[in-house]
A and B are shown apart, each in its own frame.
Chain A
C-alpha cells in the first residue's frame, strides 16, 4: 500500500469522525498556543527590561563603591563604603591614563524630600556634572541643563524629571520657580525629557529625579563628599572592555590596592545589568512554560485516548482490512499517520491562535509578546511528535489484533 493511499485512508478516517477529531485537535491547539504565548510573553518582558536598561545610555559602565568591613568585623552591604571620590572621577576623565573613556559622570545620590510651596515629594536627588546628560543620553524639554559654571560656583539650581515636575507644580511651568531640599532653596532651571516610566523594578523611574550640580549636592545639601557611583561611557562599543580595564587599573592604583580581589569598588556593564534583571523573567518564563507544557502533555494524552477509542470502535474495520490483505505494519502505519495528522493540525492551528493572541493580548495585559520562529517551529515539531508518540500504543494495539477476533466482534 502506497504512502499516498495510507494518507488518503487516514484523512478519510479523520474526516468521518469530525467532532472527535476536532476535539482532539482542540486539546493540542490550546497546549501549543499556550506554550508559544508564554515563551513569547517571557521573551517580551526580557526584551523590555533590556531595552529599558539600554535606554539608560549606550556603552556604559557603572562603578559602585564596594562593601566595608568595620574594625569590629561587621561587613556592610554592597555600596555601603564611601570609597569613591571626586578625585577618582577626575582621574578617570584623563585622556592620558584612560584613552578609551569618552565621558565620566560622577553621581552623589540621596533620597530627599523636595518641597515647592505647599507640595512636597520624596524623590532621588542626584548631584552630577553636565556630562551626565550625554552619558545618560538625555536632554531637557524646557529651560537648560546644569553647566560647568554651575559646578564651579556651587550654584543653587535644579533640573527636574518630568514626573517630579508635575508632582510638585501640577502642570504649571516650573522653570524659574524655587524648590527646597534639606532647607536649601534651589532655582529650577530646566525639565528633563520624558523616557517613559519603567514598568520593572530593576530600573528606577527615570522621570522622577532631581538633578543638581555635584558641588551643590555634596557641599550644601548632603554634607558628604563621597560618590554613590561613577558612570563611564566608552568611546565605542568595541572599546568597552578596554575602558573597563583602564578604569579598573586606574582605581586600584589610586586606592593603593595591589590585588584585584581586594578591590573596594565594582564595575558593572549594561550587559551584566541586563543579565541580572532578566534572570527573574527567565525563571518565570520557565515556570509558566512548564505549566503550558503540561497542558500540551494533557493534549497528547487526549490524542492517545481518542486513538484508543478509535481502535476499539473500528475493530471490525481493522479485521476486515486485515482479512483483505493489510499486514500489521500497514495497519500500524495508518493509525500512526492518523495520530500525527491530528497532532500536526492541532499544532498548525495552535500557532495561528498564538499569532492572533500575540496581536490582541498586549492590548489587554499591557505587556509585549515577542513570538520567535524557532519557538513556533519547535512547538510544531513537538505537536507532531506528540501525535506520533501517543499514537504508537493505539497503533500497535490495532496492528496486533487477530483478524478473526476483530471480524467476530459486534
Chain B
C-alpha cells in the first residue's frame, strides 16, 4: 500500500502545453500560457519566479489541486488532466507529498496523528499507520517528539513534522511550496538539508520558491515569467 513503483523511463512529471485561464466576471486572466516540462525520477527541481508569474498556479496543477484548462499533465504516467475531484483526491493521496509554507498541521492532533493522516485516507489500518508515522518522524529526526502537539514544537520542528507527513505514504513526488518561507535562517537550513537528503536517497523533489538562494540548492531551476517558462539561456545572463 502506498508504495508507487514508477516504471523505468517514465518521467514523474510530464507537462505538455498546459494552460490555465481564470475567468473573473467579465475578464479572463491567463495564469499559464502553454507550459511544457518534464521532470524525471530522482530529480531535484526548483521552480522560480516573481509573484504573478504563474508559479502558484503551476504548483496547484502539479499538486493535482487544480486541473489545467488545456494541455495534458501526466503524473507518473497517469493522465490527470480530466479527472474529477474524487479521482484527484486519490491521486494526491497516492502520488504526492505536500510541504506547505505555513506547515498546515492540525493543532488538535499530536505529531504522529498529523503524520498518519494521508495513510488514514488511504485506508491503512491503525497499527500500521502508527508504525509508519513513527518511522517517518524518526527519519526527519523527531523520534522523540512523537506525542508532541504542533503548539509544543518550534517552527523548524513543525516543518519537519510536515515533511514526515509528506514522506509517510511513499509518494512519487514531494512538492514543497516555499518550505522555508516561514522559518528563521537556521531552521531554513535544516529543512533544506533534509530535502537534500531525501533527494539523495532517490526521492523526486519539486520546490516552488521566489528565493534564489533556496533555488540554488536544487540541481535544476525552472524560471517562470508571465505564465511561460523562460529559456535556459536567459538564466545564464
The reply to whether chain A is a binding partner of chain B is yes
User: Footprint of B on A, CB under 8 Å?
Assistant: 1-2, 5, 12-13, 16, 316-317, 319-330, 402-404, 407
Q: Would A404 and B120 be within 8 Å (CB), given that A16-B108, A320-B104, A323-B98 are in contact?
A: no
CB proximity to A under 8 Å, residues B94-114: 94, 98, 100, 104, 106, 108-109
Report the Cα distance A322→B66, complex, angstroms. 12
Report the Cα distance A85→B127, complex, angstroms. 91
User: Footprint of A on B, CB under 8 Å?
Assistant: 60, 63, 65-66, 85-86, 89-90, 92-94, 98, 100, 104, 106, 108-109, 117-118, 120-123, 126, 165
Report the Cα distance A321→B98, complex, angstroms. 11
Report the Cα distance A16→B106, complex, angstroms. 11
Report the Cα distance A328→B85, complex, angstroms. 7
Do residues A5 and B120 form an inter-chain contact, with CB atoms below 8 A? yes
Do residues A1 and B123 form an inter-chain contact, with CB atoms below 8 A? yes
Q: Would A323 and B92 be within 8 Å (CB), given that A329-B86, A404-B66 are in contact?
A: yes
Do residues B86 and A324 form an inter-chain contact, with CB atoms below 8 A? no
Q: Would A404 and B65 be within 8 Å (CB), given that A2-B123, A321-B117, A324-B98 are in contact?
A: yes
Report the Cα distance A325→B93, complex, angstroms. 4
Do residues A407 and B121 form an inter-chain contact, with CB atoms below 8 A? no
A-B pairs with beta carbons under 8 Å apart, 14 shown: A1-B120, A1-B123, A5-B120, A12-B108, A316-B104, A323-B104, A324-B121, A325-B90, A325-B121, A327-B85, A327-B121, A328-B85, A330-B121, A407-B65
Do residues A326 and B65 form an inter-chain contact, with CB atoms below 8 A? no
| A contact patch SS | helix
CB distance from A36 to the nearest CB of B (A): 35
Given the complex, which residues of B lie within 8 Å of A321, measured CB to CB? 117, 121
Given the complex, which residues of A lie within 8 Å of B123, measured CB to CB? 1-2
Given the complex, which residues of B lie within 8 Å of A327, measured CB to CB? 85-86, 89-90, 121
Q: What residue of chain A has the Cβ atom nearest to residue B59's Cβ?
A: A404
Given the complex, which residues of A lie within 8 Å of B109, measured CB to CB? 12
CB distance from B177 to the nearest CB of A (A): 9
Report the Cα distance A322→B98, complex, angstroms. 12
Report the Cα distance A322→B118, complex, angstroms. 10
Given the complex, which residues of A lie within 8 Å of B93, measured CB to CB? 324-325
Q: Would A324 and B90 be within 8 Å (CB), given that A2-B123, A404-B60 are in contact?
A: no
Given the complex, which residues of A lie within 8 Å of B89, measured CB to CB? 322, 325-328
Report the Cα distance A317→B106, complex, angstroms. 7
Q: What residue of chain B has the Cβ atom nearest to residue A13's Cβ?
A: B108
Given the complex, which residues of A lie within 8 Å of B165, measured CB to CB? 324
Given the complex, which residues of A lie within 8 Å of B90, measured CB to CB? 325, 327
Given the complex, which residues of B lie within 8 Å of A2, measured CB to CB? 123
Given the complex, which residues of A lie within 8 Å of B85, measured CB to CB? 327-328
